[in-house]
Chains A and B, each alone.
Chain A
Amino acid sequence: AQSVTQPDIHITVSEGASLELRCNYSYGATPYLFWYVQSPGQGLQLLLKYFSGDTLVQGIKGFEAEFKRSQSSFNLRKPSVHWSDAAEYFCARYNFNKFYFGSGTKLNVKP
Protein backbone atom coordinates (compact mmCIF):
# COMPACT_ATOMS: atom_id res chain seq x y z
CA ALA A 1 0.00 0.00 0.00
CA GLN A 2 1.13 3.54 -0.69
CA SER A 3 2.21 5.21 2.54
CA VAL A 4 4.46 7.71 4.18
CA THR A 5 6.24 6.84 7.41
CA GLN A 6 7.69 9.23 9.92
CA PRO A 7 9.39 6.96 12.45
CA ASP A 8 9.90 9.61 15.14
CA ILE A 9 6.79 10.81 16.97
CA HIS A 10 8.67 13.28 19.17
CA ILE A 11 12.12 14.82 18.87
CA THR A 12 13.82 17.23 21.25
CA VAL A 13 16.85 19.25 20.24
CA SER A 14 18.71 22.13 21.83
CA GLU A 15 18.49 25.55 20.29
CA GLY A 16 21.38 26.00 17.87
CA ALA A 17 21.81 22.29 17.29
CA SER A 18 21.30 20.63 13.95
CA LEU A 19 18.07 18.82 13.10
CA GLU A 20 17.12 15.89 10.91
CA LEU A 21 13.56 14.60 10.66
CA ARG A 22 13.10 11.30 8.94
CA CYS A 23 10.58 10.41 6.27
CA ASN A 24 10.27 7.19 4.30
CA TYR A 25 7.81 6.43 1.54
CA SER A 26 6.65 3.15 0.19
CA TYR A 27 7.04 1.86 -3.33
CA GLY A 28 6.13 4.06 -6.23
CA ALA A 29 7.44 5.80 -9.29
CA THR A 30 9.34 9.03 -8.71
CA PRO A 31 7.08 10.61 -6.17
CA TYR A 32 6.12 14.17 -5.55
CA LEU A 33 7.30 14.78 -1.98
CA PHE A 34 6.53 17.55 0.46
CA TRP A 35 7.31 18.75 3.94
CA TYR A 36 4.75 20.80 5.86
CA VAL A 37 5.02 22.48 9.25
CA GLN A 38 2.14 23.04 11.65
CA SER A 39 2.66 25.53 14.44
CA PRO A 40 0.34 25.26 17.46
CA GLY A 41 -3.15 26.41 16.58
CA GLN A 42 -2.25 26.97 12.95
CA GLY A 43 -2.82 25.30 9.63
CA LEU A 44 -0.13 23.50 7.68
CA GLN A 45 2.45 25.56 5.84
CA LEU A 46 4.44 24.19 2.93
CA LEU A 47 8.18 24.16 3.70
CA LEU A 48 9.48 22.60 0.50
CA LYS A 49 8.68 20.15 -2.25
CA TYR A 50 10.48 17.77 -4.57
CA PHE A 51 9.30 16.81 -8.02
CA SER A 52 12.43 15.87 -9.95
CA GLY A 53 15.96 17.03 -10.70
CA ASP A 54 18.39 18.04 -7.99
CA THR A 55 17.88 15.73 -5.04
CA LEU A 56 18.72 18.42 -2.49
CA VAL A 57 15.82 20.82 -2.15
CA GLN A 58 15.91 24.16 -0.39
CA GLY A 59 12.87 25.46 1.38
CA ILE A 60 11.71 28.33 3.51
CA LYS A 61 12.93 29.14 7.03
CA GLY A 62 16.37 27.64 6.35
CA PHE A 63 15.13 24.07 5.86
CA GLU A 64 16.35 21.65 3.24
CA ALA A 65 15.52 18.07 2.35
CA GLU A 66 17.34 15.38 0.44
CA PHE A 67 15.63 12.80 -1.75
CA LYS A 68 17.36 9.42 -1.70
CA ARG A 69 15.74 6.96 -4.03
CA SER A 70 17.87 4.03 -2.87
CA GLN A 71 16.62 4.51 0.68
CA SER A 72 13.09 5.67 -0.22
CA SER A 73 13.72 8.63 2.05
CA PHE A 74 13.13 12.35 2.04
CA ASN A 75 14.64 13.62 5.28
CA LEU A 76 14.26 17.20 6.42
CA ARG A 77 17.29 19.04 7.81
CA LYS A 78 18.22 22.32 9.35
CA PRO A 79 21.78 23.20 10.41
CA SER A 80 20.82 25.33 13.43
CA VAL A 81 17.43 25.13 15.09
CA HIS A 82 15.68 28.18 16.51
CA TRP A 83 13.13 28.14 19.33
CA SER A 84 10.48 29.25 16.82
CA ASP A 85 10.95 25.97 14.92
CA ALA A 86 9.09 24.11 17.66
CA ALA A 87 6.09 22.68 15.81
CA GLU A 88 4.79 19.51 14.23
CA TYR A 89 6.23 18.48 10.89
CA PHE A 90 4.48 16.39 8.29
CA CYS A 91 5.99 14.60 5.35
CA ALA A 92 3.66 13.96 2.43
CA ARG A 93 3.71 12.48 -1.03
CA TYR A 94 1.55 12.61 -4.10
CA ASN A 95 1.33 9.56 -6.33
CA PHE A 96 -1.30 8.06 -8.59
CA ASN A 97 -3.82 10.84 -7.97
CA LYS A 98 -3.61 10.43 -4.21
CA PHE A 99 -2.08 12.58 -1.52
CA TYR A 100 -0.62 10.79 1.54
CA PHE A 101 0.46 12.37 4.80
CA GLY A 102 2.74 10.89 7.40
CA SER A 103 1.56 10.86 11.00
CA GLY A 104 3.82 13.76 11.94
CA THR A 105 6.86 14.46 14.15
CA LYS A 106 6.58 16.89 17.03
CA LEU A 107 9.71 18.96 17.51
CA ASN A 108 10.55 20.42 20.91
CA VAL A 109 13.38 22.93 21.18
CA LYS A 110 15.29 23.24 24.47
CA PRO A 111 16.71 26.64 25.39
Chain B
Amino acid sequence: EAQVTQNPRYLITVTGKKLTVTCSQNMNHEYMSWYRQDPGLGLRQIYYSMNVEVTDKGDVPEGYKVSRKEKRNFPLILESPSPNQTSLYFCASSSGTERYGYTFGSGTRLTVV
Protein backbone atom coordinates (compact mmCIF):
# COMPACT_ATOMS: atom_id res chain seq x y z
CA GLU B 1 0.00 0.00 0.00
CA ALA B 2 1.27 3.43 -0.95
CA GLN B 3 1.74 5.41 2.20
CA VAL B 4 3.69 7.85 4.31
CA THR B 5 4.62 6.42 7.70
CA GLN B 6 5.42 8.59 10.67
CA ASN B 7 6.68 7.48 14.05
CA PRO B 8 5.86 7.86 16.81
CA ARG B 9 2.15 8.74 16.71
CA TYR B 10 2.28 10.27 20.16
CA LEU B 11 5.22 11.65 22.10
CA ILE B 12 5.53 13.45 25.41
CA THR B 13 8.94 14.84 26.21
CA VAL B 14 10.63 17.38 28.43
CA THR B 15 12.10 20.71 27.45
CA GLY B 16 15.58 20.42 26.00
CA LYS B 17 15.63 16.68 25.36
CA LYS B 18 16.55 16.05 21.73
CA LEU B 19 14.08 14.03 19.72
CA THR B 20 13.57 12.77 16.19
CA VAL B 21 10.30 12.10 14.41
CA THR B 22 10.79 9.69 11.55
CA CYS B 23 9.03 9.81 8.19
CA SER B 24 9.23 7.26 5.43
CA GLN B 25 7.39 6.96 2.11
CA ASN B 26 7.21 3.96 -0.22
CA MET B 27 6.10 5.76 -3.40
CA ASN B 28 9.51 6.84 -4.67
CA HIS B 29 8.41 10.46 -4.31
CA GLU B 30 11.03 13.13 -4.78
CA TYR B 31 9.31 15.88 -2.83
CA MET B 32 8.81 15.63 0.94
CA SER B 33 7.68 18.17 3.47
CA TRP B 34 6.99 18.68 7.16
CA TYR B 35 4.03 20.65 8.46
CA ARG B 36 2.79 21.54 11.89
CA GLN B 37 -0.88 22.02 12.62
CA ASP B 38 -2.09 24.30 15.39
CA PRO B 39 -5.64 25.36 16.24
CA GLY B 40 -6.62 28.50 14.41
CA LEU B 41 -3.38 28.58 12.43
CA GLY B 42 -3.99 25.72 10.03
CA LEU B 43 -1.01 23.92 8.53
CA ARG B 44 2.32 25.66 8.36
CA GLN B 45 5.30 24.32 6.49
CA ILE B 46 8.46 23.71 8.52
CA TYR B 47 10.92 22.33 5.98
CA TYR B 48 10.78 20.70 2.60
CA SER B 49 13.05 18.64 0.42
CA MET B 50 12.99 18.46 -3.35
CA ASN B 51 15.33 15.48 -3.52
CA VAL B 52 18.12 13.68 -1.72
CA GLU B 53 20.49 16.13 -0.02
CA VAL B 54 18.30 19.07 -1.08
CA THR B 55 16.37 20.72 1.74
CA ASP B 56 15.05 24.21 2.36
CA LYS B 57 13.19 26.19 4.99
CA GLY B 58 9.46 26.59 4.99
CA ASP B 59 7.51 29.22 6.89
CA VAL B 60 8.35 28.18 10.46
CA PRO B 61 11.78 26.48 10.49
CA GLU B 62 13.10 27.85 13.79
CA GLY B 63 13.95 25.13 16.28
CA TYR B 64 13.85 22.33 13.72
CA LYS B 65 16.33 20.45 11.58
CA VAL B 66 15.85 17.94 8.80
CA SER B 67 17.98 15.67 6.67
CA ARG B 68 17.41 13.78 3.43
CA LYS B 69 20.10 11.16 3.05
CA GLU B 70 17.83 8.69 1.30
CA LYS B 71 14.90 9.32 -1.00
CA ARG B 72 12.38 7.50 1.17
CA ASN B 73 13.25 9.04 4.56
CA PHE B 74 12.88 12.59 5.83
CA PRO B 75 13.31 12.80 9.62
CA LEU B 76 12.41 15.88 11.63
CA ILE B 77 14.83 16.70 14.43
CA LEU B 78 14.16 18.91 17.43
CA GLU B 79 17.56 19.55 19.00
CA SER B 80 16.21 21.31 22.08
CA PRO B 81 12.43 21.13 22.18
CA SER B 82 10.45 23.88 23.88
CA PRO B 83 6.79 24.01 24.96
CA ASN B 84 5.89 26.20 21.96
CA GLN B 85 6.73 23.24 19.76
CA THR B 86 3.83 21.30 21.22
CA SER B 87 1.80 20.59 18.12
CA LEU B 88 0.51 18.04 15.65
CA TYR B 89 3.12 17.29 13.00
CA PHE B 90 2.55 15.89 9.54
CA CYS B 91 4.97 14.55 7.04
CA ALA B 92 3.88 14.58 3.40
CA SER B 93 5.27 13.54 0.06
CA SER B 94 4.54 14.36 -3.56
CA SER B 95 5.65 13.07 -6.92
CA GLY B 96 7.66 15.65 -8.80
CA THR B 97 6.43 18.83 -7.23
CA GLU B 98 3.80 19.92 -4.80
CA ARG B 99 1.46 20.87 -7.61
CA TYR B 100 0.24 17.30 -7.90
CA GLY B 101 -0.89 17.26 -4.31
CA TYR B 102 0.43 15.60 -1.22
CA THR B 103 0.10 12.21 0.41
CA PHE B 104 0.11 12.76 4.16
CA GLY B 105 1.22 10.65 7.06
CA SER B 106 -1.13 10.04 9.99
CA GLY B 107 0.53 12.64 12.15
CA THR B 108 2.62 12.84 15.31
CA ARG B 109 1.12 14.50 18.37
CA LEU B 110 4.04 16.04 20.28
CA THR B 111 3.76 17.48 23.77
CA VAL B 112 6.74 19.28 25.29
CA VAL B 113 6.48 19.90 29.04
Please determine whether A43 and B41 come into contact, CB atoms closer than 8 angstroms. Answer: no
Please determine whether B42 and A102 come into contact, CB atoms closer than 8 angstroms. Answer: yes
CB within 8 Å: A-B pair count = 44
Please determine whether B45 and A43 come into contact, CB atoms closer than 8 angstroms. Answer: no
Cross-interface CB contact of A99 among B41, B98, B105, cutoff 8 Å: B98
Contacts of A36 in B (CB 8 A): 104
Please determine whether A94 and B42 come into contact, CB atoms closer than 8 angstroms. Answer: no
Task: Specify the main secondary structure of chain B where it touches its partner.
Answer: mixed
Distance of B65 from chain A, by nearest CB (Å): 21
Please determine whether A32 and B42 come into contact, CB atoms closer than 8 angstroms. Answer: no
Please determine whether A94 and B43 come into contact, CB atoms closer than 8 angstroms. Answer: no
**A103-B40, A103-B41, A104-B42 as given contacts; A42 in contact with B101, CB under 8 Å:** no
Please determine whether A44 and B42 come into contact, CB atoms closer than 8 angstroms. Answer: no
Please determine whether B42 and A101 come into contact, CB atoms closer than 8 angstroms. Answer: yes
A67 at interface by CB-CB < 8 Å: no
B106 at interface by CB-CB < 8 Å: yes
Contacts of A103 in B (CB 8 A): 40-42
Per-residue contact bits, chain B 89-113, to A (CB 8 Å; 1 contact, 0 not):
0101000011111111111000000
Distance of B84 from chain A, by nearest CB (Å): 19
- Give the distance in Å from the alpha carbon of A99 to the alpha carbon of B23 in the complex: 20
**Minimum CB distance partner of A101 in chain B:** B43
Most buried by B among A43, A94, A104: A43
Of residues 50 to 87 in A, which have CB atoms within 8 Å of B's CB atoms?
Answer: 51
